[in-house]
């Protein structure tokens, strides 16, 4: 006879935290959000910890190299999407690893025969007022000069005038060698009252630009996720088919951690994939697995050797898996059961396998709930898709700015391998996700800062200064449907349509 779970499938929205005692020590400034990313033995430090409990989803519309750099700067980590060629994915990983904070590869460059009209068009497109001039107009061509807004007067000049005739030429520029440290570059900028400094190699090819404004911002990132060579850390999604080619390419490119990206991970294909990695790399390559939604699935993946286990089927905002296939489980119920299984496994074996709650976070307070229910960290798609740094277009829809956001199981992403189990037997493909818009919400940093200030504040209400303490002390209550209504502003007429200033609302 079929097995029935006693508990109904519940979502985050059906829970609230009941405050516990807060001592006078318990203030948001003292809260640490550091959390393990990969498995470790009792009493040992994990090989990788996140400085904030957020990772960005393994999705085309969320995690490219730009997102990865922005999120690592704030203390989280991106998993670069795997639904692209191995070369392209490895190149994205390499770009994150090569990125030197404060050293910019210029994206708006000019050839000497470009015109003033070209300058204005580039300025409009990229929003930069400083453009290097190189012999071939590329980012690493031989440096011939620079154009800033001080070099031209639109009202007095003909749009067809050539850049070579009004640029500041190379011989009048101050430049520095490519291996100059950021500190020295900054000193040169200050001593010479510059706005930018080009760094060139021995043949005078442009390598990077250092801007005064970037140095200032670089100093204010205390949580940066850096590896032992001070490079940003980055993850990457893999699948259960081409791992023998994809994994070596990603490792070679410098990926710090991998994750098997599958909508349903309680399968032999995940075991085979993890075993292949262990056989070829031992424990030096970290790999998470999933997704599962019950204790049995967790134990299976933990015993296969997964470095973390991802929880969630059908809760993602763009997900129609439950409708299409009738599989899944309420995210809160799944997370609570899996977290309990993780603790039991830890007691039995002394090995702590972190749990990631993936999908279905709608409001900021859902993050605190998920952490309280046992998640070590959270994977977020919709949340990050709304920011400047996500790879998708910002479009004006009926007067409001939106960002595009599409599921990996949508016809647009065509990532069918995420939805069949693996191996070489392909089933008939059908959609398990939609193509959508999400309200544009500005810069990642501003939003993450605000969200985490709420998380820290709630943790203090629960008397917790760390995530582990929150998990131990949290008191959770199921709310009735009537009290869910009471949870928002009610019985008043709002003066303006409000997201309570967060931009996080649906």
Give the residue numbers marked as catalytic: 319, 418
Looking at 319, 336, 372, 402, which residue binds ligand IMP (CB under 6 A)?
A: 319
Looking at 53, 359, 374, 422, which residue binds ligand IMP (CB under 6 A)?
A: 359
- Binding-site string for ligand IMP from residue 243 to residue 272, where x marks contact by CB under 6 A and - marks none: --------------------x---------
Distance (Å, whole) CA 59 – CA 78: 10
Looking at 36, 137, 198, 316, which residue binds ligand IMP (CB under 6 A)?
A: 316
14 pairs with which residues across the strands?
A: none
Q: Which is nearer to ligand IMP, 317 or 447 (CB)?
A: 317
Q: Which is nearer to ligand IMP, 134 or 331 (CB)?
A: 331
CB of 108 to ligand IMP, least distance (A): 32
- Rule CB under 6 A: is residue 57 a binding residue for ligand IMP? yes
Looking at 132, 354, 381, 463, which residue binds ligand IMP (CB under 6 A)?
A: 381
Q: Which is nearer to ligand IMP, 164 or 411 (CB)?
A: 411
Segment near ligand IMP (CB under 6 A), from 38-46, 100-108, 339-347, 373-381?
373-381
Distance (Å, whole) CA 102 – CA 391: 21
Looking at 361, 373, 448, 470, which residue binds ligand IMP (CB under 6 A)?
A: 361
- Rule CB under 6 A: is residue 82 a binding residue for ligand IMP? no
CB of 392 to ligand IMP, least distance (A): 13
Give the C-alpha distances (Å, rounded to integers) separating 456 from 269, 375, 461.
Answer: 39, 16, 9
For ligand IMP (CB under 6 A), the number of binding residues is 24
Packed helices 243-253 and 86-98: angle between N→C axes, nearest 10 degrees: 20
SS3 of residue 143 by DSSP: strand
Closest residue to ligand IMP in the complex (CB): 433
**Helix or strand run (H / E) with residue 18:** strand 15-18
Distance (Å, whole) CA 369 – CA 458: 10
Residue 427 burial class via C-beta count within 10 angstroms: exposed 0-12, middle 13-18, buried 19 and up: exposed
Distance (Å, whole) CA 199 – CA 197: 6
- Rule CB under 6 A: is residue 364 a binding residue for ligand IMP? no
Q: Whose CA is closest to 235, among 218, 264, 259, 202? A: 259
Looking at 64, 294, 358, 376, which residue binds ligand IMP (CB under 6 A)?
A: 358
Contact 329, 298 (CB under 8 A): no
- Rule CB under 6 A: is residue 64 a binding residue for ligand IMP? no
Q: Dihedral sign for Cα 142, 147, 152, 154, please.
A: positive
- Rule CB under 6 A: is residue 235 a binding residue for ligand IMP? no
Q: Dihedral sign for Cα 67, 69, 73, 76, please.
A: positive
Segment near ligand IMP (CB under 6 A), from 212-220, 343-351, 375-383, 493-501?
375-383
Segment near ligand IMP (CB under 6 A), from 103-111, 300-308, 374-382, 440-448?
374-382
CB of 359 to ligand IMP, least distance (A): 3
Hey, which residues between 188 and 227 contact ligand IMP (CB under 6 A)? none
Q: Which is nearer to ligand IMP, 57 or 71 (CB)?
A: 57
CB of 410 to ligand IMP, least distance (A): 5
Distance (Å, whole) CA 41 – CA 255: 23
DSSP string across 399-450: TEEEEEEE-TTSTTT--GGGTS-STT--------B-EEEEE--B-HHHHHHH
Hey, which residues between 385 and 414 contact ligand IMP (CB under 6 A)? 407-410
Q: Please state whether 57 falls in left (phi above 0), alpha (psi between -120 and 50) or beta.
A: beta
CB of 94 to ligand IMP, least distance (A): 23
Looking at 366, 382, 386, 445, which residue binds ligand IMP (CB under 6 A)?
A: 382
CB of 288 to ligand IMP, least distance (A): 12
Task: Please enumerate in sequence order all residues whose Cβ is within 8 A of that of 134, keeping only pairs 6 or more positions apart, or say none.
Answer: 109, 110, 111, 140, 141, 142, 143, 144, 205, 206
CB of 366 to ligand IMP, least distance (A): 10
- Binding-site string for ligand IMP from residue 426 to residue 455, where x marks contact by CB under 6 A and - marks none: ------xx----------------------
Q: Whose CA is closest to 71, among 433, 349, 379, 389? A: 389
Contact 141, 135 (CB under 8 A): yes
Distance (Å, whole) CA 326 – CA 416: 18
Interface positions with ligand IMP (CB under 6 A): 57, 59, 263, 312, 316-319, 321, 358-361, 379-383, 407-410, 432-433
């Amino acid at each position: 006879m079929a097995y029935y779970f006693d508990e109904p499938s519940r979502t985050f929205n059906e829970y609230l935290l009941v405050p516990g005692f807060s001592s006078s020590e318990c203030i948001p400034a003292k809260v640490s959000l550091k959390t393990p990313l990969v498995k470790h033995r009792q009493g040992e430090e994990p090989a990788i910890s996140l400085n904030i409990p957020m990772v960005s989803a393994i999705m085309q519309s969320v995690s490219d190299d730009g997102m990865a750099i922005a999120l690592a700067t704030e203390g989280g980590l991106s998993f670069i999407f795997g639904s692209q060629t191995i070369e392209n994915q490895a190149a994205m990983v390499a770009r994150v690893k090569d990125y030197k904070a404060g050293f910019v590869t210029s994206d708006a460059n000019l050839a000497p025969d470009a015109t003033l009209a070209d300058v204005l068009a580039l300025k409009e497109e990229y929003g930069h007022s400083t453009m290097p001039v190189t012999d071939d107009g590329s980012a690493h061509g031989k440096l011939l000069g620079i154009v800033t807004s001080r070099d031209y007067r639109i009202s007095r000049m003909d749009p067809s005038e050539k850049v070579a005739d009004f640029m500041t030429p190379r011989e009048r520029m101050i430049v520095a060698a490519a291996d100059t440290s950021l500190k020295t570059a900054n000193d040169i900028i200050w001593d010479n009252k510059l706005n930018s400094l080009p760094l060139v190699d021995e043949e005078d090819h442009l390598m990077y630009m250092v801007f005064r404004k970037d140095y200032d911002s670089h100093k204010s990132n205390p949580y940066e996720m850096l590896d032992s060579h001070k490079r940003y850390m980055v993850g990457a999604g893999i699948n259960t088919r081409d791992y023998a080619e994809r994994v070596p390419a990603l490792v070679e490119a410098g990926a710090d951690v991998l994750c098997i990206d599958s909508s349903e991970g309680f399968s032999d294909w995940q075991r085979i994939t993890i075993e292949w990695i262990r056989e070829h790399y031992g424990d030096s390559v970290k790999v998470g697995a999933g997704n599962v939604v019950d204790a049995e699935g967790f134990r299976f993946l933990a015993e296969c050797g997964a470095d973390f286990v991802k929880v969630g089927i059908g809760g993602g905002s763009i997900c129609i898996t439950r409708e299409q296939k009738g599989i899944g489980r309420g995210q809160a119920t799944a997370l609570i059961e899996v977290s309990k299984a993780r603790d039991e496994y830890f007691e039995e074996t002394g090995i702590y396998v972190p749990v990631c709650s993936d999908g279905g976070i709608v409001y900021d307070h859902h993050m605190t709930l998920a952490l309280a229910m046992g998640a070590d960290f959270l994977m977020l798609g919709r949340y990050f898709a709304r920011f400047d740094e996500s790879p998708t277009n910002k479009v004006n829809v009926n007067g409001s700015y939106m960002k595009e956001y599409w599921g990996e199981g949508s016809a647009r992403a065509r990532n069918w391998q995420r939805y069949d189990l693996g191996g070489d037997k392909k089933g008939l493909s059908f959609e398990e996700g939609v193509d959508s818009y999400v309200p544009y919400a500005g810069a990642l940093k501003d939003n993450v800062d605000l969200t985490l200030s709420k998380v820290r504040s709630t943790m203090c209400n629960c008397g917790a200064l760390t995530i582990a303490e929150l998990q131990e002390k949290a008191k959770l209550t199921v709310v009735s449907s009537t009290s869910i209504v009471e949870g928002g502003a009610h019985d008043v007429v709002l003066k303006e349509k409000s997201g309570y200033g967060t931009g996080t609302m649906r």
